[in-house]
């Protein structure tokens, strides 16, 4: 069975919630989260593209590309927390995200990691011109410590 078909079988929105043992339901949710992280580590395979003009947003682990319109002011895109052992709210090594600035204004799009994390050792990465982009990938920086790395920019 492929990871994608396993993910469908273990969908936490299925009948597991109704009448099942709570411990078993949690086990299924944890397994589904593990499979989702494994799929997301594959990168941009079938990940949604999000177009936004929101002042700030937090990247969702199931999305892959963010097209940001900063016409109305500076924008902040916050990356998800890197894996600290939590099955639901962390990103595994290998996961990548793209962020691109769509507008021609002087407003900026700032890509920011979660508190205590860095992008190539810096506190953030700023897109200042139209069509500028960055691709960041979660990877091991030293030993077992995860960090965000810039793997493409333009």
Better pLDDT: 41 or 21: 21
Q: Do 22 and 49 share a structural domain?
A: no
| Contact assessment for residue 128 and residue 108, using Cβ atoms and an 8 Å cutoff | yes
Interval 12-16 mean pLDDT: 46
Q: Any idea how long the chain is?
A: 154
Q: Which domain holds residue 5?
A: 1-40
pTM for the model: 0.67
Least confident range from 16-20, 91-95, 119-123: namely: 16-20
Residue holding tokens 């810096």?
122
**Strand ranges for the chain from DSSP E:** 49-52, 56-58, 65-68, 75-78, 96-101, 109-112, 125-127, 133-142, 145-153
Better pLDDT: 60 or 153: 153
Report the distance separating Cα 149 and Cα 97, nearest Å.
Answer: 11
**What is the reported pLDDT for 81?**
86
pLDDT, the chain, mean: 78
Is it the case that residue 150 has pLDDT exceeding 90? yes
Total domains in the chain come to 2
Q: Do 13 and 65 share a structural domain?
A: no
Is it the case that residue 111 has pLDDT exceeding 50? yes
Beta bridge partner(s), residue 68:
52, 101
CATH number, position 87: 2.60.120.640
Geometric angle at alpha carbon 36, from 76 and 120, rounded to 5°? 40
Q: Do 36 and 48 share a structural domain?
A: no
């Amino acid at each position: 069975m492929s990871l994608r078909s396993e993910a469908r079988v273990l969908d936490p929105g299925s009948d597991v919630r109704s009448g099942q043992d709570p411990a078993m339901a949690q086990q299924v949710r944890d397994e589904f989260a593990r499979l989702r992280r494994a799929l997301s580590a594959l990168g941009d395979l079938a990940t949604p593209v999000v177009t936004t003009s929101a002042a700030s947003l937090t990247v969702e682990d199931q999305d892959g590309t963010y097209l940001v319109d900063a016409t109305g002011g500076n924008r902040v895109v916050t990356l998800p927390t890197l894996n600290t052992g939590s099955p639901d709210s962390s990103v595994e090594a290998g996961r990548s995200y793209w962020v691109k600035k769509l507008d021609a204004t002087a407003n900026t799009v700032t890509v920011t990691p979660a508190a205590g994390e860095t992008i190539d050792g810096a506190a953030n990465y700023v897109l200042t011109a139209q069509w500028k982009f960055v691709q960041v990938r979660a990877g091991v920086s030293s030993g077992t410590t995860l960090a965000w790395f810039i793997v493409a920019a333009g």
